[in-house]
Structure 1
Amino acid sequence: MLIDFNNLNTNQLSSYTGFQNKVENFLQEWLSDKETVNVQTSGSTGTPKIFGIEKKKMINSAIMTCNFLGLKKGDKALLCLPVEYISGKMMVVRSWERKLQLIIAEPNLKPVENLNEEIEFCAMTPLQVENSLDKLHWIKNLIIGGASVSESLKNKIRGMNLGESNRIFETYGMSETLSHIGLKQLMPISEDYFTVFENVSISLDDRGCLKIFAPNVNAEVLQTNDLVEIKNDKQFKFLGRIDNVINSGGAKIFPETLETLVKKELSNEAVFIGLPDETLGQKLILVIEVDETEEVKNKISEIPFEKSFHKPKEIIFIPEIPRTPNGKVSRMELYKKITENL
């Protein structure tokens, strides 16, 4: 299914089943007289919520992304993210605003399996990218969001023989910022800092957490729980979420930082959590999505942790780490699963 927003004829929209039908339903909602659309949060950090977003602000967000990437009328894009969430809805809105040709693909783990032509734009989750490496050369501008990009995946991307015209970015954003407000290039340049869009201001609160003011998409200053390092007024580095910080024996441990280190050695999903401990307060645990083998245990034992208290007190091997519907690791569900089995 392809929707040409440069020559959109709503009378040609027919009834489909499954994902295509969901896309058409959202498009009908978008083209209606309503000033808002409903968006569902992922629920990765709490209970999923549904809230209304003004269409004009979604358009403003779309303009920022399209301008940053240099997308123009008639370019081809591919939608392979659920339209229940802001990520999928914004792909439709960007295509509508910039008059793109939008290819609709099922949002599964191999969404571009049948792609055999060059397209200018696509957004995928890290898991989708992991299963689509042989097709990335067809995509001129790829943005990866929904979860952090592992070091293992970054290394796979960097090892690919892609042309200089193929650009791959990691995104930073949330539902409240209408998808992302900044991008960090992974290929062909490898960047450490996210660069925010025009008309987006960033600052720190007294905890060292990021504050965002993006008036084009949200009138309020958004207070995050993301610990960051600010380089200048347009660039920052993500360090970890303050609500994920583990306090073990009085030492504050940032699990995301340790997970990045582990994923340089292991391609499997790895998550650090803190379990209650009478002596330490919280005991550092490493959960890995892989079968327990001597090879894996040896690799973990060789990881150069900076501090002695960064080394996990226990390693748990499980076949599957819980995730939200859009692919994010659900730390809350993982914590419940581990504690229930103690």
Structure 2
Amino acid sequence: MLIDFNNLKINNLDFETDFEKKIKKFLEEWFSNTEMVQIQTSGSTGTPKVFEIEKNRMIHSAIMTCNFLGLKEGNTALLCLPVEYISGKMMIVRSMERKLKLIIADPSLKPLENLQSEIDFCAMTPLQVENSLDRIHRIRNLIIGGAAVSESLKKRISGFMTHIYETYGMSETLSHIALRQITPQPEDYFTVFENISISTDERGCLKIFAPELNAEIIQTNDLVEIKNEKQFRFLGRVDNVINSGGAKIFPEQLEALIKREIPNEAVISGIEDESLGQKLILIIEGEESEDLIKKVLEIQFEKSFHRPKEIIFIDKIPRTPNGKVNRRELLALITK
């Protein structure tokens, strides 16, 4: 299905699949007299909730992304994300704002499977990208969100000429407020959009002031390093920080290092320990393997206490509906 937002006539479109009907419902909500749209959070960092957002703020967010990527009227885009969440809704709003031609593909692990033509813009999750590497070259601009982009995936997409970006954002910021290019020019820092200011609190956690998107200053639990007024590097979530023997350890940074050496999903966690307070452990998804253990043991960690005290293998690491690792559920599984 294709929706041409330069010549939109909803009544002339055939919404057949369940996904297409959800899109129709959102379009009807958007063109209604209400000023607000309901948004559902993923629940990846807390209990899922539903809240309302002003349509005008969503338009401002759409303009920021379209301007950053240089999208123009008549460009083509692909929607392959659930429209229950802000990520899918914003793909539609961007298409409306910039009058794009929007191709609809039911959300799946292989959203590009039937894509025959080249497109200008798409947003996908890391899992979708992993299962679409043979067709990524058909996309001019690709943004990846919903979960962190693993080091192994970064390696696999590093040779593409497609402009591929990792996103930073949340439901409260109406999708992302910053992008970091992965390829063809890899960047260490996220760059925030225009009219957005960043700072940190006393913990070193990011504060976001984006008046066109949210009337309030958004306080995150994300530990960051700010390079300048427009760039920052993500270090990890403050609630994931592990305190082992008095040392603070950011699991996300260790996971990135480990995933450069092994192909499996890997999660660093801390379990209660009488002498250390928290003992550093590594959970690897898949069958137990001496080869994987050997590769982990050969990693040159910056600090000796960064080396996991124990390696645990698990058949399947639990994830949230949008693909993020569910750390709380995982910890409950390995400690029960």
TM range (shorter): over 0.9
- The answer for the alignment partner of 2:80 in structure 1 is 80
RMSD: 1.0
Given candidates 235, 239, 245, the residue that maps to 1:239 is 235
Query: Offset of 1:268 from its aligned partner?
Result: 1.3
Q: Please give the residue correspondences for 1:58-207 in structure 2 after superposition, counting only pairs within 5 Å.
A: 58-158=58-158, 160=159, 162-163=160-161, 166-207=162-203
Aligned residues: 336
SS in structure 2 at match of 1:92: helix
Tell me which residue corresponds to 1:47: 47
Amino acid at match of 1:215: P
Q: Which residue of 2 aligns with 1:228?
A: 224
In 2, Cα distance between equivalents of 1:128 and 1:188 = 20
Equivalent residue, structure 2, for 1:336 = 332
Question: What residue in structure 2 maps to residue 293 of structure 1?
Answer: 289
List 4+ stretches of structure 1 deviating above 4 A. Answer: none
In structure 2, runs of 5+ residues without a counterpart are: none
Aligned to 2:208: 212
Give the SS at the match of 2:225: strand
SS of the aligned residue for 1:77 comes to strand
The SS at the match of 1:83 is: coil
Task: Indicate the SS of the match to 2:64.
Answer: helix
Cα distance in 2 for residues equivalent to 1:339 and 1:181: 36
Which range moved further: 195-204 or 277-286?
277-286
Q: CA shift at 1:8, angstroms?
A: 0.4
- 5+ residue gaps, structure 1, are none
TM-score, normalization: structure 1?
Answer: 0.96
Shift of 1:107: 1.1
- Structure 2-normalised TM-score? 0.98
State the shift of 1:15 in Å.
4.3
Q: Does the CA-based 8 Å contact 1:45-1:332 persist in structure 2? A: no
Work out whether residues 240 and 256 of structure 1, in 8 Å CA contact, stay in contact via their aligned partners in 2: yes
1:256 aligns with 2:252: yes
Aligned partners of 1:151 and 1:15: how far apart in 2? 38
Superposed CA offset, 1:58-104 (max 9, x none) = 00000000010011111100001111110011001100111111111
Q: Distance in 1 between matches of 2:15 and 2:179?
A: 36
Q: In 2, Cα distance between the equivalents of 1:254 and 1:127?
A: 23
Q: CA deviation digits over 1:209-254, x for unaligned, max 9?
A: 1110000100111111111111110000111111100011111110
Question: How far is the alpha carbon of 1:311 from its aligned partner?
Answer: 1.0
SS in 2 for 1:154: helix
Q: Counterpart of 2:227 in 1: which secondary structure?
A: strand
CA distance in 1, matches of 2:282, 2:37: 40
Shift of 1:303: 1.1
Q: In the alignment, is residue 308 of structure 1 matched against residue 304 of structure 2?
A: yes
Aligned equivalent of 1:31? 31
Q: Match of 1:4?
A: 4
Partner of 1:269: 265
Distance 1:52 1:268 in 2: 38
- 1:15 and 1:153 mapped to 2: Cα distance? 34
